């Protein structure tokens, strides 16, 4: 039963009488105050949608057309009608008295939905499914007697939700594959470009720009596999009846268990699913929603980590997200190039990660075969999770195809830190030239401390290399310093790891989705 109704002007009203009674406790403006407000208010020019009502930014500002449609009323209620049509068609094939004329009438009106009539019916009946049964019957008078035959509300509600979530994963998977593809091209291009590594957000051993990108890609590959696994493992609720026992359908088929089983199988197949739940209460287990929200939240964590890395690198001026010619970074500071796309992804990712709490709570309080307190919560959190993931991926596509790298800035930062990192190499070279390891260590330590003092206290460049060159003790290796300080000798197997990772993990995964690595 519906716990919320929608009026023709779009306002939502509670069907709970306690909510209605509580209105009297709210301090409402008097008729005089309302009239005064209307008189003094500056006229608003409305162009297009009604801007005097709240509209979710997820739908109006961010999400793609395809994902918005996927969770639209048109998609939802036309899917309900398809489910009713499939049920009737299969019932006919299994021997129930349903005519071709009735089926044809239903099929012709799958998308012929009078939403105004349906909303009026819901206000009248306080039941969304029965409102649409009557709306469908209105345009299918001949089929009216057999619409929703033997079914319960969850037959259309739950099965339609499963279809919509499956289709939503298809939309996300396509976009995620493209993001991985673009980041892979970026990783290949910069596989050998040395850059400072950071642990504890402090300079550490060198890595490469491409290797760091592979850390992001590896997380996204795990998300891609999670999306694909979740989509493939989704099971149809199927044709189960009021409490999942199929009693009503067993009665329709005069106790013929084989026909009830076949009906369930046939409708499941028509809906495009390979499996249906054998066991369910009135609804499919809400643990499914927990698993779906979990993989989406996990994806949100991957995005937050990646985009935070890019924001930090942007603050160092080493890497930037795309910045358009007429883009404004700050209303007060014209020079700024804020990483607004990555900031948006982080903001939305935080929201996505929090949505897991709703399905967890809902599943935990589904008493016995079902309680209706899942409905209002579910119709908010599940669409929001997919819509949020969708806009994150749309934004990430833009980021990943236009990342800008500044090699000279990266090299400057390396040169500020590399002399300290190279001290061990210098000691080994001096020992090889006949020096004493302990004596060399003490001299390097003293010079390093003085250079560090110059950097931290005086704010000057690191001059450790010059100090080593000017110290007669290190004369035997002065001509080797350029080699000892070559950044590429400090990146280990990072380039090889990049290409091995791409060939052994990225390319085989992307091939499964029929999208090559290169354009």
Tell me what pLDDT residue 3 has.
40
Under the banding of pLDDT at 50, 70 and 90, the label for residue 47 is low
In this structure, are residues 488 and 194 in contact, taking their beta carbons and an 8 Å threshold? yes
Instruction: Collect contacts of 430-433 with beta carbons under 8 A, ≥24 apart.
Output: 430/474, 430/476, 430/477, 433/476, 433/477
> Does 76 share its domain with 217?
no
Mean pLDDT estimate for the chain: 86
> Does 414 share its domain with 464?
yes
Active-site residue (options: 200, 258, 315, 331)? 200
- Residues 216-229 pLDDT 10s: 999 999 999 999 99
Number of domains the chain contains: 3
Both structure tokens of 229: 């696994």
> Does 359 share its domain with 450?
no
How far apart (Å, rounded) are the C-alpha atoms in residues 277 and 274? 11
Q: Quick check: is 276 in a domain?
A: yes
> Does 396 share its domain with 290?
yes
- Residue ranges in 126-205 assigned as alpha helix (H): 128-139, 153-189
Out of 405, 425, 441, pick the residue that ends a domain. Answer: 405
> Does 393 share its domain with 432?
no
Q: Quick check: is 61 in a domain?
A: no
The yes-or-no answer on residue 304 being catalytic is no
> Does 174 share its domain with 94?
no
> Does 245 share its domain with 296?
yes
Q: Please determine, for residue 40, whether its predicted confidence score (pLDDT) is greater than 80.
A: no
How far apart (Å, rounded) are the C-alpha atoms in residues 384 and 460? 51
Residue 76 maps to which CATH number?
1.10.275.10
Is residue 175 classed as helix, strand or coil in its secondary structure? helix
How far apart (Å, rounded) are the C-alpha atoms in residues 469 and 466? 5
> Does 124 share its domain with 237?
no
The yes-or-no answer on residue 257 being catalytic is no
> Does 105 share its domain with 244?
no
- Find how far residue 479's CA is from the centre of its chain: 54
> Does 440 share its domain with 371?
no
Q: Quick check: is 20 in a domain?
A: no
Active-site residue (options: 36, 330, 364, 503)? 330
Residue 187 maps to which CATH number?
1.20.200.10
Measure the CA angle with vertex 152, ends 143 and 376; round to 5°.
Answer: 120
Residue 479 maps to which CATH number?
1.10.40.30
Q: Quick check: is 58 in a domain?
A: no
User: Of all helices (H) and strands (E), which one includes residue 386?
Assistant: helix 375-401
Both structure tokens of 335: 């020079």
Q: Which of 72-76, 311-315, 373-377 has the lowest mean pLDDT?
A: 373-377
How far apart (Å, rounded) are the C-alpha atoms in residues 449 and 365? 62
Q: Quick check: is 502 in a domain?
A: no
Tell me what pLDDT residue 323 has.
65
> Does 191 share its domain with 107?
no
Instruction: Answer with the residue of higher pLDDT: 424 or 414.
Output: 414
- Residues of the chain with pLDDT > 90, as a percent, come to 59
> Does 400 share its domain with 413?
no
Q: State the residue range of the domain holding 484.
A: 409-489
Q: Quick check: is 394 in a domain?
A: yes
Q: What is the mean pLDDT of residues 83-109?
A: 96
- Residues 439-498 pLDDT 10s: 889 988 898 888 888 888 888 888 888 888 888 888 888 888 888 888 888 899 999 999
Tell me what pLDDT residue 256 has.
96
Cβ count within 10 A of residue 176: 24
């Amino acid at each position: 039963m519906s716990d919320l109704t929608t009026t023709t002007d779009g306002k939502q009203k509670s069907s709970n009488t306690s909510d209605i009674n509580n209105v009297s406790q709210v301090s409402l403006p008097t008729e005089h105050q309302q009239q005064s407000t209307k008189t003094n208010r500056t006229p608003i020019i409305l162009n297009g949608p009604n801007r005097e009502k709240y509209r979710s930014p997820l739908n109006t500002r961010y999400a793609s057309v395809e994902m918005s449609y996927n969770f639209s009323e048109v998609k939802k209620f036309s899917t309900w009608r398809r489910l009713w049509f499939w049920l009737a068609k299969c019932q006919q094939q299994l021997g129930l008295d349903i005519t071709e004329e009735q089926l044809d009438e239903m099929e012709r009106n799958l998308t012929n939905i009078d939403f105004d009539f349906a909303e009026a019916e819901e206000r009248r009946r306080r039941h969304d499914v029965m409102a649409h049964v009557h709306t469908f019957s209105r345009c299918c008078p001949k089929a009216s007697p057999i619409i929703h035959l033997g079914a319960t509300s969850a037959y259309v509600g739950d099965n339609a939700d499963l279809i919509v979530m499956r289709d939503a994963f298809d939309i996300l998977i396509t976009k995620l594959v493209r993001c991985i593809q673009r980041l892979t091209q970026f990783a290949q291009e910069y596989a050998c470009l040395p850059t400072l590594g950071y642990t504890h957000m402090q300079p550490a051993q060198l890595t490469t720009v491409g290797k760091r990108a592979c850390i992001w890609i590896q997380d996204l590959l795990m998300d891609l596999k999670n999306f694909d696994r979740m989509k493939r493992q989704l099971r149809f609720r199927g044709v189960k009846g009021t409490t999942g026992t199929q009693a009503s359908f067993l009665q329709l088929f005069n106790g013929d268990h084989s026909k009830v089983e076949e009906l369930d199988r046939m409708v499941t197949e028509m809906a495009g699913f390979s499996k249906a739940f054998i066991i369910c209460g009135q609804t499919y287990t809400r643990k499914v929603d927990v698993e779906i929200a979990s993989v989406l939240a996990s994806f949100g964590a991957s995005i937050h980590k990646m985009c935070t890395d890019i924001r930090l690198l942007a603050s160092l001026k080493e890497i930037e997200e795309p910045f358009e010619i007429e883009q404004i970074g700050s209303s007060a500071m014209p020079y700024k190039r804020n990483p607004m796309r990555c900031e948006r992804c982080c903001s939305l990712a935080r929201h996505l990660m929090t949505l897991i709490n709703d399905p967890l709570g809902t599943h935990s309080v589904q008493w016995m075969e079902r309680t209706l307190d899942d409905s209002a919560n579910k119709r908010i959190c599940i669409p929001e999770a997919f819509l949020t993931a969708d806009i994150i991926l749309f934004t990430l596509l833009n980021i990943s195809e236009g990342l800008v790298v500044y090699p000279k800035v990266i090299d400057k930062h390396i040169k500020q830190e590399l002399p300290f990192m190279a001290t061990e190499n210098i000691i080994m070279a001096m020992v090889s030239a006949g020096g004493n390891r302990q004596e060399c260590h003490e001299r390097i330590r003293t010079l390093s401390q003085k250079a560090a003092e110059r950097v931290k206290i005086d704010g000057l460049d690191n001059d450790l290399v010059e100090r080593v060159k000017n110290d007669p003790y290190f004369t035997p290796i002065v001509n080797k310093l350029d080699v000892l300080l070559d950044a590429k000798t400090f990146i280990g197997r990072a380039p090889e790891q990049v290409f091995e990772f791409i060939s052994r993990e990225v390319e085989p995964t992307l091939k499964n989705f029929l999208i090559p690595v290169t354009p």
